[in-house]
Amino acid sequence: MFEDGGDGRFARRPDLGGRSTVFGKGGAVACEHPDAALAGIRVLDAGGTAADACVAMAACMAVLSPMQTGMGGDAFLLFYEAETGSVIGANGSGRAPEAVTIDKLRERGLSEIPQHGGLPVTVPGGVRLWEDAASSLGNLPLARLLEPAWELAENGYPVAEVVARYWRESEDLLRESEAHVLLVEGRAPRAGEVFQQPDLAETIAAVAEGGADAFYTGEIARSLARAVQEAGGYLTEEDLAAHETVWVEPISTDYRGVRVFEIPPPGQGVAALEMLNILEGFDLGSLDPVGADRIHLEVEAKKLAFRDLHEEIGDPEFWFHAEIPTARLISKDYAETLRERISPEWASGRVPEPALGEDTTYLCAVDARGNGCSFINSLFKAFGSGVVAAGTGVCLHNRGISFNLREGHPNALEPRKRPMHTIIPGLATREGALWATFGVMGASMQPQGHAQLLSNLIDHHMSPQEAVDHPRHRHDGDTLLVENRVPAHEVERLRSKGHRIEVGEDYMIPTGGAQLIRVLEDGVRACGSDPRKDGCALAQ
């Protein structure tokens, strides 16, 4: 544990190894690929806002990491406006096709939505959000922001190491149909091998010239709809043309004087806030930051929050029986009742959870004027549905598998409904000033990661990079996955409390990839970027 010097700065390098926190006085970005981070910082150099930088980075990531994110996926953002001190949210997720119903799937002999093919494809909302973020929150034209992504797709780029690993795991899926364009002679590109995506470059160029309408209408939309229908799905050109970004009021809670913001349902940000409210009643700062007692409390809080998440959260536009109880779920009084259910000595039982996707990119930026943007973009599972629309280079996500087929459930499949969403950007303020932009990509890890990251910063006074590097844990179903850097005797203490433990590598991809920018009291930006990913933080 490191002592706070009073100004939020810490000296931990090089004695403990790892990366250094990146400091700057102007703009800053954090992203999981260096080329995307460089595009973001150049946008800030050109006078762009934090939102501009995030759009440029997100577009680059659609090229650089095509199994995690892309133009065929969804996106969300949180934006801190320095001039007013307000926090703005945007939901860039798409709806289920108008023609899809539970009965139609049951008639096809299905009890759940398949992972691949056309059926899990919902409208991809990310490209519309790119445009809306640039036009509403930015200074630069969309064409300027897409230029770095176009250059990467057209001219090629050396594949990064972690991305190459992801790519290799999906070779079999990509050998089918049009997805073969994402392979090199039938195999995944290797780390350091230059890969080009000329079809995707043409699609990016079309959006740069014609805006998001060039994606949601016209020839690109026809190709997307045709590809999905040929793969057995229901997406139409009309579904695509009707898509709009939804600007939302963020939800928030106070955690020890820090106001933490999340996107409201149908996202799982409500679970992150619920966890923080529960944990606020425990003195986490007095516990060993890699100890069994801390991990146990965080896991037990997660179980309680996720029970609510999977039973009560869905698209609020379609929950006609009653309003989704967001205010109650994130209230301090409700957290107090839940906290009483936690035994400090014994683990509670298994919480049923659906299998969720893993493939997402998170990135964030703070500009010289003090605006902050937290942005997340995803294909859900690796290469999403595996459906690539001919001539576009666009791989479509499979976000529809988040729906269930239980009629009357808040997250049951319905025409034009948005599924319960895993991807959540995070943002925090203190006394109205921007305190941090942050995110931890990785399906159900995301709310857990938000809580762990914030506790590292607030309870354990870690520097941004240390908070990102710190050993993380992930609970799914009845298994608690911990990194190998958690001491063996603490792992045994967790087992003695009743947890079913799996120990992985020192830095495990399943525990998520974090990016973080802290704004210190004097305005200095302090940034951390996850060594579990390929990226970096850069600052002016």
Q: Mind telling me the catalytic residues? A: 360
Q: For residue 130, what are its two tokens?
A: 């790119």
Strand pairing of 395-396 and 479-482? unpaired
**Cα→Cα distances 34→129, 156, 323, 534, Å:** 23, 15, 43, 7
Neighbour count for residue 352 (Cβ, 10 Å): 10
Give the Cα separation of 145 and 52 in Å (integer): 7
Q: Are 92 and 77 in contact (CB under 8 A)?
A: yes
Residue carrying structure tokens 């390098």: 13
| Torsion sign (Cα): 112, 444, 311, 417 | negative
Residue closest to 522 by CA, chosen among 23, 102, 14, 13: 23
> Which residue from 59, 57, 23 is spatially nearest to 37, judged by alpha carbons?
57
- Answer for the pair 364, 36: CB distance below 8 angstroms, yes or no: no
Radius of gyration of the chain (CA): 22
Query: What is the distance between the alpha carbons of residues 313 and 146, in angstroms, rounded to a whole number?
Result: 35
* Rounded-to-integer distance, Cα 36 and Cα 375, Å: 13
Q: Do 385 and 122 contact (CB within 8 A), yes or no? A: no
Helix, coil or strand: residue 436: strand
Contact 404, 486 (CB under 8 A): no
Q: What token pair was written down for 202?
A: 């043409």
Closest CA to 355 of 315, 404, 395: 404
Output the CA–CA distances (angstroms, integers) from residue 114 to 121, 226, 227, 344, 429, in the order listed. 10, 19, 16, 40, 40
Q: Are 344 and 297 in contact (CB under 8 A)?
A: yes
